[in-house]
Amino acid sequence: MKKLKIILLGGTKDSTEIIQHLKNNYDTYILTTTTTEYGSKLATEAGSDETIARPLLKDEIIEIINNSDFDILIDATHPFAEHITQTSISVSKICKIPYIRFERPPLNFENIDTSHIIYAKSFENAGEIISREIPKGNILHFAGANTMEDVLKNISKDRFYPRILKVEKSIEKCEKLGIENSHIIPMKGAASLKENIDLIEKYHASVMITKESGEIGGVIEKIEAANQKDISLIMIKRPIIKKLDKKDVVSNLEEFDEKIKKIISAETGI
């Protein structure tokens, strides 16, 4: 059987686990695309043969697939990267390439105290809620650099403390928005419960902002920290991607293997 050529849209913890799993279980060549040098570094460490560390346009992805004869397109981007997933679905149809969407499962709230959670429909709405209902105390923003601007449409940057990767692109966004360097909290992976509590206390926070990014995104630890410190947690719900066919979605490595083996079987006729 020939070596599988895979293009992987990554940049998440899920994507690095997929790279490791593929390299351990299949004969593969993997090209991983990420939007940052940091994501590219993690992909390389996980075993990706090649990486591209910048956002790609739709036409660029199409050209890469067509010129290099890839066998599978895997979308392991963040659940909130709605535009990228829509683009990857469109690319897979244009290039007639098998498509797999690896999406971490949503959090099961059944046995979790959700009394401190306030749901928002968008990041702009999160800022509106805070301005209206939580006018005092500081704000811990645990939802990435790309979402800061929408939140700040309705709240003062003097109250705003984002936890972000200290990479050039994110620092530039902070500078553009007038966020002081002393307000930037360096991020290295998901925070533990203790780290979240320490941040709440250090920055005198009355509210945290997060995405419903699933257990792997550290959401449980944020909820528990908010509960223990009696502060609010604004949670933005996941977007529903209308073009996404449920049959293309997997949420664990067992389902992922089933998809991969079906694709291999269809290509080899075995």
Shared-domain flag, residues 246 and 230: no
What is the C-alpha separation between 270 and 84, in angstroms, rounded? 33
SS3 of 37-48: the string is: HHHHHHHHHHCC
> Residue 186 is inside which H or E element, if any?
strand 185-186
Residue 112 lies in a domain: no
* Pair of tokens at residue 24: 């351990």
| Helix residue ranges, H only, the chain | 13-25, 37-46, 58-68, 82-95, 123-133, 148-151, 168-177, 193-202, 219-229, 253-268
Shared-domain flag, residues 97 and 10: yes
Residue 208 lies in a domain: yes
Shared-domain flag, residues 33 and 89: yes
Residue 258 lies in a domain: yes
pLDDT value of residue 270: 44
What is the C-alpha separation between 50 and 224, in angstroms, rounded? 39
Shared-domain flag, residues 53 and 150: no
pTM: 0.74
Shared-domain flag, residues 132 and 210: yes
pLDDT value of residue 268: 59
* Pair of tokens at residue 240: 């529903």
User: Which strands, in side-by-side order, build the sheet including 232-236?
Assistant: 117-120, 232-236, 205-211, 138-142, 160-164, 185-186
| Crossing angle (nearest 10°) for helices 219-229 and 193-202 | 50
Shared-domain flag, residues 232 and 175: yes
Residue 206 lies in a domain: yes
Number of folded domains that form the chain: 2
Neighbour tally for 244: CB within 10 Å:
18
Shared-domain flag, residues 135 and 207: yes
Domain limits for position 88:
4-105+242-268
From first to last of the 270 residues of the chain, give the pLDDT tens digit: 578 999 999 988 889 999 999 999 999 999 999 988 888 999 999 999 999 999 899 999 999 999 998 999 999 998 788 889 999 999 999 999 999 999 877 777 788 899 999 999 999 999 999 999 999 999 999 998 989 999 999 999 999 999 998 788 889 999 999 999 999 998 877 789 999 999 999 999 999 999 987 766 688 999 999 999 999 999 998 877 777 788 899 989 999 999 999 988 877 554
Shared-domain flag, residues 215 and 248: no
- CATH label of the domain that carries residue 18: 3.40.50.720
Shared-domain flag, residues 228 and 196: yes
Shared-domain flag, residues 125 and 222: yes
- CATH label of the domain that carries residue 146: 3.40.50.20
